[in-house]
Amino acid sequence: MPKQRIRPWLEKQREALRKSIKQKWTRLASGKSRGTGEPLCALCRAAKDDCRDCLIGIITGANNCRGTPHSAWSDSLDAELTSYTRALNAPPVVRAAKKMLAWLKALDAELSELLDGPAPKRSRKGKRT
């Protein structure tokens, strides 16, 4: 794919990644999820639920976020499923959500470095160098 077509796609994926972090995974990792109205992943929506068009699917080569901490989150949710709301806030599910959140944030940092260049380094006094 020519470079001029990749950059807009990557920028769209970064926007969806950030929405997923903010709208879904931050809440799930907080342990305060209400269990209703959990937003669908913004990356899934952007790819129209086709993992072949999703940034994560392309990176992992797998469907349904396999090969990421999402698998452990999904498995722990299934293991706790007596009530959806209780399961979402169960300690193993929250721990797994925190791992997925950290993974997504690391991916965001990598994508930002690719698109924007390396972040400026900070000195010990907090000033940019």
40 falls within a domain: yes
Contact 82, 59 (CB under 8 A): no
127 falls within a domain: no
The domain of 16 spans 3-115
Domain count, the chain: 1
Higher pLDDT, 13 or 35: 13
pLDDT the model gives residue 21: 95
pLDDT the model gives residue 36: 58
What the block records as the tokens of 12 is 């769209």
Look at the alpha carbons of 124, 125, 126, 128 in this order and tell me if their dihedral is positive or negative.
negative
CB proximity list for 114: less than 8 A, separation 6 or greater: 10
Tens of pLDDT along 15-39? 999 999 998 999 899 988 876 556 6
pTM of the model: 0.77
Tens of pLDDT along 69-88? 999 998 998 888 777 777 88
126 falls within a domain: no
Tens of pLDDT along 115-129? 888 777 766 666 655
* Helix residue spans in the chain (DSSP H): 3-20, 26-30, 42-46, 55-60, 70-80, 84-88, 91-116
25 falls within a domain: yes
Distance CA 110, CA 105 (A): 9
